[in-house]
Structure 1
């Protein structure tokens, strides 16, 4: 890989993970902090809960099963809402009625990479779910998100009717698990470093700088390890 190539940031993420939405916005801030480093962001799939049925399930019941104490759920939501406001996210957890299976959403995200619209699709899916309470298990929702991001909605609708790239998405998820990814978001910088969790923008910016510096001077970087 040439030192002049954009620095690749692979983000292992699920669009029903509120911390991933927060991490996306913080990554956006981090990239703005290091304008001298060209980057390319690629979104990689992860299923926060692979046991959710294809049609989704009632979110209130789902959350109650995971967190029997309502006070715990409230505390988590309030903390996320506070953090979200700092990066322009309006988490509206009360508006979410369905906990979806996101396998099809990840297929759309995969197709968006080819079109150069992946980040726009990911952002739209996050906003639909966390700010508008949309059901991401519905094909119509995914098609609308693709259209909003600039993709060809008719093509996306037709692909969703079949099982194009289902195996490829499942394999990507399996690869992430084999690499030791057990939680998301996970940011992988140039296949050199992995940063787990929705870290502060400054932490992500520092990882970008370090990776860029080591690419330019690998011998010097090795001496500091």
Structure 2
């Protein structure tokens, strides 16, 4: 089956969700023919120069005990999955439209997973700015894509409208938070679920394949 995964690359829970999905797919390799990464923008109005992450988080979430506890939980869960979240490092949150264009172009050569992983590691572990097109071209090259071609595409308006339409479609489908997983086009799961729960959905989709579910 194909698993469509709707994400935004500046969403930390999407990184957690990706790693959980990796584990689930590793447990059911024969059942999953592929994972396709779909775009979502948590803040499509973010300017091209980005916004300071610490300032943005302070304005949106404040510094309540609940927020601090949630962050500790996120960091701990990340550690369990091999993610070294670094929220103390200065960073800027980018408008992720260009990053989603890159992920879209990575589908044909079959390296979406590597690109998504590269983007999330760069931002969450290294504090890199995902609005930097040179960085995006470097991440593409490390995934096996043609760096020059990607740089030329990023400098153009190629597929900007297509990605924006996909994001709008996700909203119309009722996606209100990410990550959002769609298994075999039939079963949806929202949130960064433990991989054991994702395995259950894979098994259920297999068991009901062709049963009119």
TM-score by length of 1: 0.91
**What stretches of structure 1 of length at least 5 have no aligned partner?**
1-6
In the TM superposition, 1:22-33 aligns within 5 A as 22-33=16-27
Corresponding residue for residue 212 of structure 1 = 206
Matched, 1:55 2:49: yes
Secondary structure of 1:170's partner? helix
Q: C-alpha separation between the residues in 2 aligned to 1:132 and 1:72?
A: 26
Higher helix share: 1
Count of residue correspondences: 213
Which residue is 1:69 aligned to? Answer: 63
Give the whole-Å Cα distance in 2 for the aligned partners of 1:38 and 1:92. Answer: 32
Query: Superposed, which structure 2 residues align to 1:1-225 within 5 Å?
Result: 7-69=1-63, 71-215=65-209, 217-218=210-211
Q: How far 1:125 sits from its partner (Å)?
A: 0.4
- Largest Rg, 1 or 2: 1
C-alpha contact (below 8 Å) 2:3/2:32 kept by paired residues: no
| d(CA) in 2 for partners of 1:112, 1:96 | 29
> In 1, Cα distance between the equivalents of 2:56 and 2:121?
21
User: After alignment, is 29-38 or 163-172 more displaced?
Assistant: 29-38
SS in 2 for 1:94: coil
Unaligned 5+ residue runs, structure 2? none
Please say which of residues 158-167 and 88-97 is displaced more in the overlay. 88-97
TM-score, length-normalised on structure 2?
A: 0.96
CA RMSD of aligned residues (A): 1.3
